[in-house]
């Protein structure tokens, strides 16, 4: 299409498309080291004041640097790592530890299905949302691995304090 005949809106959209194609994407991960371990929900809650934190179940940062996240239903590569937020939403009026327990338990079955997967805490820049509306991150900084004791503590708290697994039609 002749650029003189484009509307201003079409020209801006075309320019934005060209910029996206020319731009060098920021790295998926800043580094892949994961030396620290979190040992309790209380310890994890103390980290919430330092940065916006997320949890991810995968084979770890080094494996994610090579492959990233994929929407398994469509086969499409996602523009960032799929994560679950650890900061409670504003509407959350229950204890922070309840939120953490729930968020940690949401994707724990991934570890149950693949023993090489583990839960780790990270921060990064949100670049979009995945097919389940989960945040997608780039420029990821791995912070700590969640000890199995934290996962067990979260599971116990989740089962005690929630109607775990119940949906609107149950």
pLDDT tens figures, 84-100: 999 999 999 999 999 99
In total, how many domains does the chain have? 1
Is the confidence at residue 119, as pLDDT, over 90? yes
For β-strands 135-146 and 36-38, DSSP reports them as parallel
Q: Establish if 85 belongs to a structural domain.
A: yes
Average pLDDT over residues 57-81: 93
Tokens at 36, concatenated: 């620290």
Q: Establish if 170 belongs to a structural domain.
A: no
145, 118 Cβ separation under 8 angstroms = yes
Average pLDDT over residues 55-79: 93
Say what angle helices 96-105 and 148-161 make with each other, to 10 degrees: 110
What confidence score (pLDDT) does residue 166 get? Answer: 74
Please tell me which residue, 87 or 168, carries the higher pLDDT value.
87
Of the given ranges (19-23, 38-42, 109-113, 141-145), which has the lowest mean pLDDT?
19-23
Under the banding of pLDDT at 50, 70 and 90, the label for residue 2 is: very low
81, 140 Cβ separation under 8 angstroms = yes
Q: Establish if 50 belongs to a structural domain.
A: yes
Q: Establish if 34 belongs to a structural domain.
A: yes
Q: Establish if 130 belongs to a structural domain.
A: yes
Please tell me which residue, 23 or 88, carries the higher pLDDT value.
88
Tokens at 41, concatenated: 């929900």
What is the per-residue burial (b if ≥16 Cβ within 10 Å, else e) of 49-85?
eeeebbbbbbebbeebbeebbeeeeeeeebebbbbbe
Q: Establish if 14 belongs to a structural domain.
A: no
Q: Establish if 2 belongs to a structural domain.
A: no
Which range marks the domain in which residue 43 is found?
A: 27-161
Q: Establish if 32 belongs to a structural domain.
A: yes
């Amino acid at each position: 299409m002749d650029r003189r005949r484009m509307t201003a809106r079409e020209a801006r959209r075309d320019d934005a498309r060209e910029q996206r194609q020319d731009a060098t994407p920021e790295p998926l991960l800043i580094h892949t080291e994961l030396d620290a371990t979190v040992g309790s929900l209380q310890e994890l809650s103390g980290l919430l004041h330092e940065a916006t934190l997320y949890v991810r179940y995968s084979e770890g940062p080094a494996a994610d640097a090579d492959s990233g996240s994929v929407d398994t239903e469509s086969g499409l590569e996602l523009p960032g790592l799929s994560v679950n937020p650890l900061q409670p939403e504003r509407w959350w009026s229950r204890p922070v530890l309840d939120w953490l327990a729930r968020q940690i338990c949401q994707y724990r079955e991934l570890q149950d299905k693949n023993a090489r997967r583990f839960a780790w805490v990270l921060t990064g820049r949100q670049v979009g949302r995945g097919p389940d509306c989960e945040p997608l991150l780039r420029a990821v900084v791995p912070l700590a691995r969640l000890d199995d004791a934290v996962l067990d503590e979260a599971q116990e708290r989740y089962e005690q304090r929630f109607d775990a697994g119940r949906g609107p039609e149950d």
